[in-house]
Structure 1
Amino acid sequence: MIDFRKIPSPCYVLDEQLLDRNLAVIDRVRRESGAEIIVALKACAMWSIFADLARHSDGATASSAAEARLVYEEFGCPAHTYAPVYTDGNIDEILRCSDHITFNSLAQFERFGQRALIRGISCGLRINPQYSPVETDLYNPCVAGSRLGVTAEQLRELPAGIEGLHFHVLCESRPEHLRKALEAVEEHFGRFLDQIKWLNMGGGHLMTHADYDCDELIGILKAFRARHPHLRLILEPGSAFTWRTGYLVSTVEDIVENGGVHTAMLDVSFACHMPDCLEMPYKPAIVGAHEPAPGEKRWRMGGTSCLAGDCCGDWAFDHELQVGERIVFEDMIHYTMVKTTMFNGVHHPSIVIVRRDGRVEIIREFGYEDFRNRMS
C-alpha cells in the first residue's frame, strides 16, 4: 500500500505492480487470439515505461511526427502512424520513423503515398464504417459529417499500393461493440478484405477493465481470423495498457465556503491536469471518498487555475477535510499527462514511479524553465 503522505505533491504516480497486472491480460489476448496489440502513445507517452510496454506488445502507434520519433527512438521500433492530416513539413520525419502509415483520405494518399511506397512502408487507408457505440460526440469518429476516414460510398475501388485498412470507432468499449464494428466493416468494405494484408481495428478495447470479457474478445478475433485467415489483425488500445495503474496526488491548500458549498482548494487543476473531467465530463474517484448520502456534507474540489469552472464535485468523506491533507485521484495515468497544459503557469505535477519493490522514484520534476521554454 502506497503511503501517499510520503509522495511529493502535486505529482502523477504510476504503480509498477498495477501495470504488471494489465500487461498480463494483454499478453493473454495476444497469445490466445493471434492478434497483434500495439501501444497507442496518444493515451500514454510515458517513455520511462516503454521498456516494459515493449516486452508485452507488438510495437506502438503514433499520431504525429513527434510521437513517431518517440516510438522510433525510445520504444525501439518504427511506428504504425496515423494522423488526420500530413503536411510537407512533417511527412519526411514521419516516414523516417514509421514502417506502417495510414492515410485519412484518398487525397492524402495521392499526395504522399508514393513517397511512402518508395521507402517500402506499408500503406493503409482509414475507413469510416458508419458505426460507433460512443455517445459523446466529442469522442465519436462516426458522427454525421465526420472528417475521419473514408466511407464506402467514397471508396469505389482500392488504390494500388494500399495494403491495409484501419478503423477506429470505439472508446473504452466492450467486446460486443467490436463485434458490431466488424459486422459494419464486412457489410460496407467486405469486398476489399481479400485485397489487403492487414486490418487495424484501432483503439478503445478496454480489455483490462474488471468487467471486460476477454474470452468474448478472443472468440470474436479468432472467428474473424477464421473468415479472413490471410489478414494480420492489429489492435491499438491506449487506455488498456495503463488503465487504473496510478494516481494524481494533490494537497488541500485552503477551504472556501460560499452559499453552503464547501470547496477544498487544491494544488492541482482540473483544467490543466485532468482536462477530461471537464471535457467528457466525468467525476473521478478519490481515495477514501464516497458518493454523498442524503444530508451528508458534500465537498467540492477546486483547481488552482483562475478558470471559474476549474472545479469538480461532489464527494463525501468520513471526516472534516483539513488544510495540508492529501487528496488522491484514482486512475490518472492514461489520457492525463498527455493532455496537460501549463495554462496560468500553474505548477506542473511531477512524475513518480512506485517500483515493484516499493521504492518511490521521482522520474521528472517541472519548474519555471519548462513554462518559459514553451513560450516565445
Structure 2
Amino acid sequence: MQKHQLKTPYFMINEDKLIENLEKAKLLKDISGAKLVLALKCFSTWGVFDIIKPYLDGTTSSGPYEVKLGHETFGGETHAYSVGYSEDDVREVADICDKMIFNSQSQLAAYRHIVEGKASLGLRLNPGVSYAGQDLANPARKFSRLGVQVDHIDASVIDSIDGVMFHMNCENKDVDAFVALLDAISSQFGAYLDRLDWVSLGGGVFFTWPGYDIEKLGTALKAFAEKHAVQVYLEPGEAIITKTTDLVVTVVDIVENQIKTAIVDSATEAHRLDTLIYNEPASVLEASEQGTHQYVIGSCSCLAGDQFCVANFDQPLEIGQKLHILDSAGYTMVKLNWFNGLKMPSVYCERSNGDIQKLNEFGYQDFKRSLSQWSVE
C-alpha cells in the first residue's frame, strides 16, 4: 500500500517517532525507578500497542470500557479510575484491574467491599496546586470535583488503602515547575504518603518535549519515592504520542471573503475536537512562516467557526492538494464523532520498515449503526 493511494481523511502514525518518545520514557524509568502506565483517555489506538508495550508497565483508565481495553489488549498493570463509579461499573472491572482508585471517600466507602481481595485500593487526592494553561483543564481549579482536598481527608481512611493518586499537570513542559509541585505534595501530604505503598502522580508531564531535562525529573522522582518509601507511577498520555501522528486531509474547495479559505475534507468538531474546545490552532506541515499566501484552513462542517488554523504558504494552494495537520494523536481518535455525517478518518501506521499498516477504516454502515440498531414496529 502506497501513501499516494490512500483516501483522505486519515491518520498516519509513525512508528519511528513513537519509538523516539518511548526511548525517552525508558530513560526516565531507568533514572527514577518509577513505573509508567499509558493514559487511555488520551490515546487508545490498540493497533499500535505492540510498539508501546515493551516500554511501559500497563494502562490507566477513566471509565470501564478503557479498563477492559487495557486489560485485553495491553496487559501489564491495569489501573481503574473514574470520577464517578456506579456499582455496576465497579463490579464490571473489579476482577480485571490491579488498582482501583476512587475519586471520593464516599465512593470508596460504598464500594470497597466489592474490590477488597481483588485489587489494590486507592484514593484520588487534590493537592490544591497545579500547572495548567487553561482553567478548563486545571484539576485544582476553584470548586474542583476531582479528588479529596487535604482538609477533608479522614486520616483513618489512609490506613485502609494502599495508595493515592494526584493529577495536577496539563502539558507541563517546565521541569522546575513540576519539582515545585512535587515538593508541595511532599510537604502537605507527607505524613499520609509515609503510610502507603504507592503514589501515582498522574499525567500531563511533557518529558518528551524537545530539550526537557529528563535526568532532573528522574532524580526528583527517585528522591520522592525514597523519602516516602513508595512506588511512584506516572500516567503519560500525550508525552508518549506527541509529534507522532498527522491527520492528512485534502483541499476540496477555495473560497474568498476578504481572506481566502481552503476547505478541507475534515472538521475539528468531528475529527480534532480539542482544537475547537481549547481554541488552540493546529499546525500544518506544508505551511511556511515566511510564505506570502495566507489561508484559513477551514473544515467542511456546517459550524460557522469550525477551522483548523490560519496559515501562510510559499505557493498558492490548489484544489486536490493534500495537507498534513501535525500532532494529531492525543485526544483526537478517542474523541471522533459523526457530526454532519462526515467520513470518519481511517487510521494507518507507517512501520519502521516502510510498510503502511491499516489499523481501521469506517464506512456508512458504521455511521448508521451508531445512531440506531433496531427499528421500532
TM-score normalised by structure 1 residue count: 0.95
Task: Tell me the equivalent position of 1:191.
Answer: 191
- Comparing 87-96 with 244-253, greater Cα deviation is found at 87-96
Contact 1:117 1:161 in 2 (8 A): no
State the partner residue of 1:161: 160
Residue 362 of structure 1, aligned match among 315, 336, 358: 358
Q: Deviations over 1:166-222 (max 9, x none)?
A: 000101113223212212212221110111000000001111111311111112112
Measure how far apart 1:115 and its partner are. 1.0
Distance 2:249 2:308 in 1: 14
1:51 aligns with 2:50: yes
Q: How many angstroms does 1:6 deviate by?
A: 4.3
Instruction: Return closer, same or farther for 1:135/1:242 CA change in 2, 3 Å cut-off.
Output: closer
**Structure 2 residues without counterparts, runs of 5 or longer:** 373-377
2:319 corresponds, among 311, 320, 323, to 323
1:267–1:5: structure 2 CA closer, same or farther, 3 Å change rule?
A: same
Asked if structure 1 preserves the Cα contact closer than 8 Å seen for 2:283 and 2:309, the reply is: no
* Distance (Å, rounded) in 1 between the aligned partners of 2:35 and 2:321: 44
Residue 349 in structure 1 maps to residue 345 in structure 2: yes
Aligned to 1:109: 108
Give the Å deviation of 1:319: 0.6
Q: Does the 8 Å contact 1:12/1:351 carry over to 2?
A: yes
Q: CA contact under 8 A between 1:7 and 1:249: conserved in structure 2? A: no
Task: Tell me the SS of whatever aligns to 2:144.
Answer: coil
Identify the residue that residue 340 of structure 1 maps to in structure 2: 336
How far did 1:234 drift?
A: 0.4
Question: What secondary structure sits across from 1:375 in the alignment?
Answer: coil
Corresponding residue for 1:235? 234
Check if 1:209 corresponds to 2:209.
Answer: yes
Instruction: Report the alpha carbon displacement of residue 226 of structure 1 after superposing the two structures with TM.
Output: 3.1
**Tell me, what secondary structure is at the counterpart of 1:96?**
coil
> For the structure 1 residues 262 and 292, does the alpha-carbon distance in structure 2 shift closer, same or farther, using more than 3 Å as the test?
farther
Aligned equivalents of 2:265 and 2:169: distance in 1? 34
Q: Which amino acid is 1:337 matched to?
A: M
* Aligned twin of 1:255: 254
Rounded to whole Å, the distance in 2 between the matches of 1:135 and 1:14 is 26
In 1, are the aligned partners of 2:285 and 2:324 still within 8 Å (CA)? Answer: yes
Q: Say if 2:18 and 2:244, in contact at 8 Å, map to a contact too.
A: yes
Query: Judging changes above 3 Å, is the alpha-carbon distance between structure 1 residues 97 and 304 closer, same or farther for their aligned structure 2 residues?
Result: farther
Query: Which amino acid counterpart does residue 191 of structure 1 have in structure 2?
Result: A
Deviation at 1:60, TM superposition (A): 0.8
* Residues 61-100 of structure 1 deviation map (CA, whole Å, 9 limit, x = unaligned): 1111100000111112451111100002311112122110
1:244 corresponds in structure 2 to 243
Which of 269, 272, 293 is residue 271 of structure 1 equivalent to? 269
Q: Distance in 2 between matches of 1:8 and 1:365?
A: 10
Does the CA contact (< 8 Å) of 2:271 and 2:336 recur in 1? yes
> Which is further off, 277-286 or 3-12?
3-12
Shift >6 Å, 4+ stretches: none
Q: Which amino acid aligns with 1:242?
A: I
Secondary structure, aligned partner of 2:126: coil
1:1-16 maps to which residues of 2 (within 5 A)? 5-16=4-15
- Relative to structure 1, the CA distance from residue 158 to residue 318 in structure 2 (aligned partners, 3 Å threshold; closer, same or farther) is farther
Number of residue equivalences: 370
Read off the aligned partner of 2:107 and give its amino acid letter: Q
Match of 1:136 among 109, 130, 134: 134
Whole-Å separation in 2 of the counterparts to 1:134 and 1:161: 32
Q: Shift of the alpha carbon at 1:114? A: 1.6
The equivalent residue for 2:285 is 287
Distance in 1 (CA, whole Å) between partners of 2:52 and 2:16 is 13
Are 2:170 and 1:171 aligned? yes
**C-alpha contact (below 8 Å) 1:247/1:333 kept by paired residues:** yes
Q: 1:150 aligns to what?
A: 148
Equivalent pair of 1:158/1:192 in contact (CA under 8 Å): no
Per-residue Cα deviation, 1:296-321 (whole angstroms, up to 9, x for no partner): 33200111211111113310101110
**Equivalent position of 1:25 in the other structure:** 24
The percent identity for this pair of structures is 34
Superposed displacement of residue 264, structure 1: 0.5
Distance 2:312 2:302 in 1: 25
RMSD: 1.6
Task: Kindly indicate whether the alpha-carbon contact (under 8 Å) linking 1:204 and 1:237 is maintained by their aligned counterparts in 2.
Answer: yes
| Aligned match of 1:226 | 226
What is the rounded CA distance, in whole Å, between the counterparts of 2:57 and 2:75 in structure 1? 11
Helix, strand or coil at the partner of 1:12: strand
Q: Describe the superposition over 1:22-45 as per-residue Cα deviations: whole angstroms up to 9, x where unpaired.
A: 111111111121110111111110
Distance in 1 separating the partners of 2:335 and 2:156: 36
Alignment deviations for residues 273-294 of structure 1 (CA, whole Å, 9 cap, x no partner): 111111112112111203367x
- Cα distance in 1 between the residues matched to 2:191 and 2:318: 64
